[in-house]
Structure 1
Amino acid sequence: MSGPIRLLLADDQALVRGALAALLGLEPDLEVVAQVGRGDEVVAAARDSGAQVCLLDIEMPGIDGIDAAAAVHAELPDVHSLIVTTFGRPGYLRRAIAAGASGFVVKDTPAAELADAVRRVHAGLRVIDPMLATESLTSGDNPLTPRESEVLRAALSGATVATIAAEIHLSAGTVRNHLSSAIGKTGTATRAEAAHVARERGWI
């Protein structure tokens, strides 16, 4: 297709979006055609703007960037997604690729490398930050079951077992069992530590 590659930027921090837009706008073959601050606005904005590549942060209101990449992949199969995040966690990388993202880079990637990553993703290639790819291979798969992940996510807030049980519709005893199992799998001593470790590794 002739003309510049059309980009959508999704990041809940306006300053970051503006900086990315300014940097990428310096490239003659790239054009930022849409910017959003929420994950649940990505698909509609991409469709309306005719974006060809979506650059997605992970932690956004609405839905996160990984779920947004999955939605783009499902609803706009010709549009590619590139995760651009501060949170270079191996678990996030695995989830992003599984969701259909074509690339995963961290925000401190030099501007020229980011622009090149956009071009490669647009060309149908996969681009992954090499340091993160190595870390992902050595960190192992997520050992948590979906229920354990759900319980740990609820535990991030510091909620009591009773509160967690009510929130996710399980008995307090079942919640304790899931927490105990997750603590064992993360090699930690408390549910707070387990939740922290699981989040740092991108498992929840």
Structure 2
Amino acid sequence: MLRILLAEDVAMVRGAMVALIELEPDLKVVAAVKSGADVVSTARSCRPDVAVLNVDLPVMDGLSAAAELRTEMPYCRTLILTNLGRSGTVSRAYAARVSGFMLKDSPPEDLATTIRNIARGRRVIDPQLAVSAWDSGQYPLSTREHEVLRLTAGGADPVEIASDLHLSVGTVRNYLTKIVTKLQARNRVDAVKMAYDSGWLP
């Protein structure tokens, strides 16, 4: 029996996905959460084999949660679900070393097959998305830089970001400088726009 952790912020979709997964006799949803910030702590308690994460989660997005989960529990495979097939999002998925990347409009029966393949150690991604990700190059930001950029995009200033991430204000400003430099942006606002346009921010 494969143990599944599901992270989806929309309650009705979350319930439907739990029901869909549990139609399979060899799959069991051991936990379902609505925030990316709850993924790692929940995984520690329920020990899933596969985490199925929506890319666009509140507090912490699915790819950031996947990266943390990879560090904390490397044996747990991760499958990212998204409505968007932008190449930048796929590049971030590669950087987070997720096991699979699947569009939400895929046939429902593909979900169980993909979960099983991921649990066997295979990586699953739509071939066209893989090509577009290859063409777009690697995601340039670290996990921490991405979190700083995501909070900046949400309107937080360096003092608020420092408080949220338990960093000094000077460290946050250094991260912002690195982000602008890596993206070859004119300023923070330009960096946020570039990240949205490239699909690096959901």
TM-score range, shorter chain: 0.7 to 0.9
Q: Which residue of 2 aligns with 1:10?
A: 7
Query: 1:158 and 1:35, CA in 2 relative to 1: closer, same or farther beyond 3 A?
Result: closer
Q: Which residue of 2 aligns with 1:89?
A: 86
Instruction: Write out aligned runs for 1:19-30 (5 A).
Output: 19-30=16-27
CA distance in 2, matches of 1:125, 1:109: 18
- Contact kept in structure 1, 2:51 and 2:79, CA below 8 Å: yes
Distance 1:182 1:36, change over 3 A: same
Q: Tell me how far 1:39 sits from its aligned partner.
A: 0.9
Distance 2:39 2:155 in 1: 31
Contact 2:92/2:139 (<8 A) preserved? no
Q: What runs of 5+ residues in structure 2 fail to find an aligned partner? A: 162-168
Q: RMSD in angstroms over aligned alpha carbons?
A: 3.5
Pick the structure with greater CA Rg: 1
TM-score by length of 2: 0.75
- How many pairs are equivalent? 189
Equivalent of residue 182 in structure 1, options 172, 177, 185: 185
Under a length normalisation based on structure 1, what TM-score does the superposition of the two structures give? 0.74
- Rounded Cα–Cα distance in structure 2 between residues aligned with 1:150 and 1:73: 16
TM superposition shift of 1:140:
3.3
- What SS does the corresponding residue of 2:185 show, helix, strand or coil? helix
- CA offset at residue 155 of structure 1? 6.8
Q: Check whether the contact 2:95–2:138 (CA below 8 A) recurs between aligned residues.
A: no
Aligned to 1:187: none
In structure 1, list runs of 5 or more residues that go unmatched. Answer: 184-189
Q: What's the % identity of the aligned pairs?
A: 44
Match of 2:137 in 1: 140
Matching of residue 53 in structure 1 with residue 50 in structure 2: yes
Task: Give yes or no for the alignment of 1:67 onto 2:70.
Answer: no
The CA deviation at 1:117 is 0.8
Q: Distance in 1 between matches of 2:155 and 2:15?
A: 35
- State the Cα deviation string for residues 115-170 of structure 1 (Å, max 9, x = none): 11100100011111222112212233457899x978975774689xxx78997765
Equivalent residue runs for 1:55-204 within 5 Å? 55-142=52-139, 156=153, 181-182=184-185, 195-204=192-201
CA deviation after TM superposition for structure 1 residue 7, in Å:
0.6
TM-aligned CA deviation for residue 89 of structure 1? 2.2
